[in-house]
Amino acid sequence: MELKLSQEQQQMVIDNHNLIYSFLIKHKLDIEDWYGVASIGLCKSVTCWDKDKSSFSTFAYVIMLNYVRMEMRKQNSSTRKPKLEISSLNYVITGSDNDICEMSDIMPNKTNYEDEAIFNIHFNKFITKLKDKDKALVKLILENFTQKEIAQVVKLSQAQVSRRLSKIKKLIISEVA
């Protein structure tokens, strides 16, 4: 993102430079780590500030806080682990009627074509129970599309795609169990 500041706006940034330090100290943020993000927020606040609505320092604090929060969200999302990790095909699944099976029981073995055929029959029965919209989502997931890409294709928000995929996963688990 490139901000073009007029001479007047540049002077305003220079005059209010100490807001960056007071903001970082007030929010107990490390100056070395967060100075750049806060300075971008200060520059952005100069371009958007309306003299009639608030004082500049109040407005600049809000914008700097928004930029810091956005950066924190980016950092947190990149370190997030997947919700479900299956590290073994010996992972035990307990059904609603206390039937116990392992992942290896329901996953097809490539050397055993009979198991694969049975898996495909169960998968096809499951797919026929889905609505057309959900079938499209499953197809796109199987083609390794991301939720964001799927959202663009089916014209939904990423959050709606995520919720629908969660419902489909619950259906799959209930079918397996």
- What average pLDDT does this structure show over 76-85? 59
Amino acid making up residue 127: I
- What average pLDDT does this structure show over 139-156? 84
Q: Cα–Cα distance between 177 and 154 in angstroms, integer?
A: 30
CB 47 within 8 A of CB 58: no
pLDDT higher than threshold 90 for residue 21: yes
Q: Cα–Cα distance between 136 and 122 in angstroms, integer?
A: 18
What is the percent of the chain with per-residue pLDDT over 70, rounded to a whole number?
A: 70
- What average pLDDT does this structure show over 9-16? 89
Question: What is the three-class DSSP state of 163?
Answer: helix
Let me know if 4 is exposed, middle or buried by CB neighbors in 10 A (0-12, 13-18, 19+): exposed
Q: Cα–Cα distance between 133 and 4 in angstroms, integer?
A: 45
Q: Under CATH, which architecture does the 103-176 domain have?
A: Orthogonal Bundle (1.10)
Confidence of residue 34 (pLDDT cuts 50, 70, 90): very high
Question: What is the three-class DSSP state of 142?
Answer: helix
Can you give the pLDDT at residue 100?
65
Can you give the pLDDT at residue 74?
85
Domain ranges of the chain: 7-79, 103-176
Amino acid making up residue 176: V
Confidence of residue 76 (pLDDT cuts 50, 70, 90): confident
Q: Cα–Cα distance between 160 and 113 in angstroms, integer?
A: 37
E runs forming strands in the chain? 92-94, 100-102
Max avg pLDDT among 64-73, 88-97, 122-131: 64-73
Confidence of residue 66 (pLDDT cuts 50, 70, 90): very high
Confidence of residue 10 (pLDDT cuts 50, 70, 90): confident
C-alpha pair distances (Å), 16 with each of 23, 45, 51, 118, 133 = 11, 11, 15, 70, 53
Confidence of residue 176 (pLDDT cuts 50, 70, 90): low
Enumerate residues 6+ apart whose C-beta is below 8 A from 134.
Answer: 164, 167, 168
pLDDT higher than threshold 90 for residue 99: no
Top-confidence residue, 114 or 36: 36
Can you give the pLDDT at residue 96?
53
CB 154 within 8 A of CB 137: yes
